[in-house]
Amino acid sequence: MLPEKITREMFDKLVSLAALELDEEESEYLRTELNHQLAAVKELSEIPIDEDVQPSLHGIDCQGNPPRPDEWQPFPDPDAILALAPERERRYFVVPEIAQLSEEGQ
């Protein structure tokens, strides 16, 4: 049985999973909007649908391109990608350590 509305607790958990953090005002506003949207999509569950109706991943029958040949084509400027890094050292992208691991260690 799915919950009718998203509670504050559920919401906070969702925010954490989404790697976000929100202040009080934002939280309340977004939670309200989220619940409104859930109400709007409620009708989806009530639509009667035949067993054999398949999910559509792309509206049209997407034929697209065949897979590509296995040929090396180096990107002409990898340094330009590295140059975008907010923090880098030597040739690495740099980030802080992950708390969980550095605490647990042994």
Restricting to residues 27-86, name those near another protein by CB under 8 A.
29-30, 33-45, 47, 49, 53-60, 62-75, 77-78, 80-82, 84-86
For residue 2, state whether it binds another protein (rule: CB under 8 A).
Answer: yes
**7, 8, 26, 28: which one contacts another protein (CB under 8 A)?**
26
Q: Kindly list the distances between the CA atom of residue 71 and the CA atoms of 66, 74, 77, 79, in Å, as whole numbers in the listed order.
A: 15, 10, 18, 22
Structure tokens at 10: 């559920």
Q: Does 9 bind another protein (CB under 8 A)?
A: no
d(CA 21, CA 84): 25
